[in-house]
Structure 1
């Protein structure tokens, strides 16, 4: 019997999806219910039904889960920042560990026992050292800062965020008041006009310093001197106030040019015993305490003796590179962001790490060029989309004995692990780390070692009169083990997205996301016609929706 839209059904939540949504089976149909906990017995109203799945919302909790708790955040049910405010932290860690293990087994085809566990955070509040507040107006026209509502550009006003630093909230409040008093307009993304786009605050956990970067769509603003004076009085920890110019039409936060309004252009902090100078563009883990544990694990997995040459791809400001350099003969860092590489070079000099080298280049292209150096250990810490095809190919050509992969997305990690293990590597062990309490994000470190062939399969090919003879008995077991997956069509992905998110996506958008993720492509019947028109790129929210669908169908 098919589920009926708007009808209320009683069910029990039995699992979580990758994005923290509750999962239940109702009359044999998979149903996704946000803001629920495993063990909840509840009445759920069906809001959308598709061919394969349905989506619902809670009408009433009949028997609450033992893992359910009252959210500490007053806007937890509205803001898109946190999805686990309503469950205990122990349950959140269980869900995240399961998420990583499921990805490694279902997508990666690996033994789930290789995941040794998850390391929880010492605190779930005020742990973020980086805050990026979008700026807009509420229904009354007042200037607000906060975070986006799920799957929208509507800003949920948040003046005190439980996971951001209190310093960042205080600085954002000063900017809001200045904008209101001097009629500085927030940027309107639909009308493409206005001034302030984002308020970006970074704080140094160990140094005690803080830095503000205002992201503006215009070059001139009134009373900047007043803003600087008020900020310095309200936040004595500020060491730099910067103005970043961004006139792009998309949702990329930082523009290409940054000017110093007052103070220093870079923030200083200490991590893993080293001092770092950080530009606004440089990558730096947002959870200081957990980053030290994460990097310690990566160094441990590398198993360095002091004689190795280590290559660190996606090195950012050199945080992992310097940690590796303490135990290696040579540590080489590669990063595509010029500002980050300049930071990394200066950081190496500041810390007296003379056995380091840094290159500004694409990770895959740099790996190809550096292969001849004889890399003993390769460390990668890629963005959420994982390794691109060029980087994976370079790794397989280089064949370093060890690969330490630091990942912020279990699905793309598992995809890359499957690719590397299919080409001669073995997953030795893995450890998950919660750097983002109350959100669905989780970091993982895995160790891969290269398998050296101890035997070879000899295949004879004989060409006779129109016939070929290939003895393949020695690979029969592999052939029997191979089971082709059910093909995931563009139609299935489009139906899933329309049902869950309420908007449609073009086939070309799905193809572009797959291409960027390095997934295999096939020709579409209308490909030639599509190329006659200028290519349009999907918005960030549609990119995330497509990735969500690809995860749901176990493509990534």
Structure 2
């Protein structure tokens, strides 16, 4: 029987989707109902019907699930940040563990018992050390900060978020007041006009420091001295106030250039026994306590004895790499973001890690240049490993692969690929780094079976390998400095990326490239192209 749009049906919610939406079967048809809990008996109005599924909303909660609770957040039904405020934390952990297990069995074609369980967080409130508030106006024209409604640019005003740090909420409020008082307009994504796009606050759990970055579409702002004075007076732990310039027309939050308005350009924090200096661009897990547990699991799965060489792909600011280096003979980190690699190198020096090296390169291309790796650790973005990276891993054939993932579906896809080529899934453990949201982290250990047990070792020296493409001087910053010094020309990351492509050198997706191929973008002038090519030759890239 076909479901009718706008008709109300009674049903019982039986499961959750990957994004936390309730699932029910009505007249044999799959129906998705947001903000419901498994066990809810409810009357659901059908709002959309497609060929295979339907979507509904709750008209009446007939019998609530035992897992249902009253949300502590007043906008939990509007904001797109959290999806599990209406259920107990025990039920949330059950749903997340099932999500990972289902992905590994259905997509990965693996034994679900390899997942040993999920480690929950000690606290579900104010755990985030990174807040990025979009700025806009409400219907009355008032300046507001908050978070987007699902699948929109409509901002739900939020002055106190239960998962963000209280320092971040406080500082965002001061910026709002300053914008209102001095008529600083928020950026409008439809008209492409305005000034402040986001307010970005990062806090150090162990250091106690915090840093505020304004993301602005214009370079000049009024009464900055007043803002700085107010922010410093309101929050003594503030160590840096920065402005990031972003004139892009897309949804990318951070632009390429960041200037210091006051204080330090980096935020300091400590993780897994190491001290880190972090730029606004550097990746750093948002839940400090859970990140330490996650990384401890990754190190444990690596099975290091102090004699191994470890390769860490997608290393970010070097957090996992340094944790591995403490137990390995040699550790190498690879990351495509230049600012993150600069952070990683500085962090290694600060912590006295002499057995670690970092290279700025695409993960897949870099991995293909290594051999004799005992343990490979990967912590890719949500999209998982690309085909180049998977092929490189299979070419290297490391005895052990530790995969840290923030998306069970792409993890399971990659596990299926690697296991189909000779690897075995030994074990997995899930970690809840993002309470009240649908996100979950997982660590898996893959091994080559007999190759691992016989412990075949290949001795090699990094000095003997051709690492010219990834040497220290080949970062975007170093290339720009070389061109300026030798040719007196200023070149952008965009121009460098364009010439890299002309030379057949792979680059990442974060260097001012438009999403649409039809989008207009400035092309590198011939004299700057010549200068960039000279820099490439100097650094041994071509």
TM-score, with structure 2 as normaliser: 0.83
Aligned to 2:394: 396
Deviations 1:155-214 (A, max 9, x none): 000000000000000000000000000000100011001000000000000000000010
In the other structure, the counterpart of 2:208 is: 208
Between the aligned partners of 1:13 and 1:107, the Cα distance in structure 2 is 23
Alignment of 1:466-505 (within 5 A): none
CA distance in 1, matches of 2:118, 2:145: 33
SS in 2 for 1:322: helix
- For residue 343 of structure 1, what is the aligned residue in structure 2? 343
Name the residue aligned to 2:477. none
Deviations 1:397-429, CA, capped at 9 Å, x for gaps: 000000000000000000000000000100000
* Partner residue in 2 for 1:378: 376
For structure 2, the residue ranges without an aligned partner over 5 or more in a row are: 453-506, 508-515, 520-542
- For residues 72-91 of structure 1, what are the structure 2 equivalents within 5 Å? 72-91=72-91
Counterpart contact for 2:375–2:399, Cα < 8 Å: yes
- Matched with 2:361 is 361
Matches within 5 A, 1:455-466: none
Taking a change above 3 Å as real, the CA distance of residues 18 and 536 of structure 1, as seen in their structure-2 partners, is farther
Q: Secondary structure at the match of 1:387?
A: coil
Judge conservation of contact 2:399–2:451 (CA < 8 Å) in 1: no
| Counterparts of 1:413 and 1:12, CA distance in 2 | 31
The residue number in structure 1 matching 2:158 is: 158
Deviation at 1:536, TM superposition (A): 5.2
Secondary structure of 1:121 counterpart: coil
CA shift for structure 1 position 51: 1.3
* Rounded Cα–Cα distance in structure 1 between residues aligned with 2:108 and 2:518: 32
- Specify the alignment match of 1:60 in structure 2: 60
Q: C-alpha displacement at 1:453, in angstroms?
A: 8.1
Paired residue for 2:486? none
2:408 to 407, 410, 421: 410
Alignment of structure 1 residues 537-552 onto 2, 5 Å: none
Query: Counterparts of 1:427 and 1:335 in 2: how far apart (Å)?
Result: 25
CA distance 1:2–1:215, change in 2 (3 Å): same
Aligned mates of 2:451, 2:396 — CA distance in 1: 16
What residue number does 2:421 align with? 423
> Residue deviations 1:274-294, cap 9 Å, x none?
100000000000000000000
- Per the alignment, in what secondary structure is the counterpart of residue 299 of structure 1? helix
Shift >6 Å, 4+ stretches = none
Instruction: Tell me which residue corresponds to 1:299.
Output: 299
1 CA distance for matches of 2:47 and 2:185? 37
**What does residue 104 of structure 2 align with?**
104
Alignment of 1:27-426 (within 5 A): 27-369=27-369, 371-372=370-371, 374-426=372-424
| Alignment partners' CA distance in 2, 1:9 and 1:257 | 54
- Shift in Å at residue 451 of structure 1? 3.7
Distance 1:365 1:225 in 2: 46
Secondary structure at the counterpart of residue 430 of structure 1: strand
When normalised by structure 1's length, the TM-score is 0.81
What's the secondary structure of 1:101's corresponding residue? helix
Partner of 2:432: 434
Structure 2 distance, partners of 1:42, 1:336, is: 49
Per-residue CA deviation, residues 491-526 of structure 1 (Å, 9 max, x unaligned), is xxxxxxxxxxxxxxxxxxxxxxxxx9xxxxxxxxxx
Where 1:39 maps in the other structure, the secondary structure is coil
Change in CA separation of 1:161 and 1:368 when aligned onto 2, cut-off 3 Å: same
Once the 2 structures are TM-superposed, how far is the Cα of residue 50 of structure 1 from its aligned partner? 1.2
Q: Secondary structure at the match of 1:86?
A: coil
- When the two structures are aligned, how many residues end up with a matched partner? 457
The CA deviation string for residues 208-258 of structure 1, in whole angstroms up to 9 with x for no partner, is: 000001000000010001000000000111000000000001000000100
Q: Counterparts of 2:355 and 2:6 in 1: how far apart (Å)?
A: 65
Structure 1: unaligned runs, 5 residues or longer: 455-515, 517-533, 538-556
Q: Deviations over 1:434-471 (max 9, x none)?
A: 000000000000000014589xxxxxxxxxxxxxxxxx
Q: Measure the CA separation in 2 of the matches of 1:30 and 1:232.
A: 53
Superposed displacement of residue 535, structure 1: 3.4
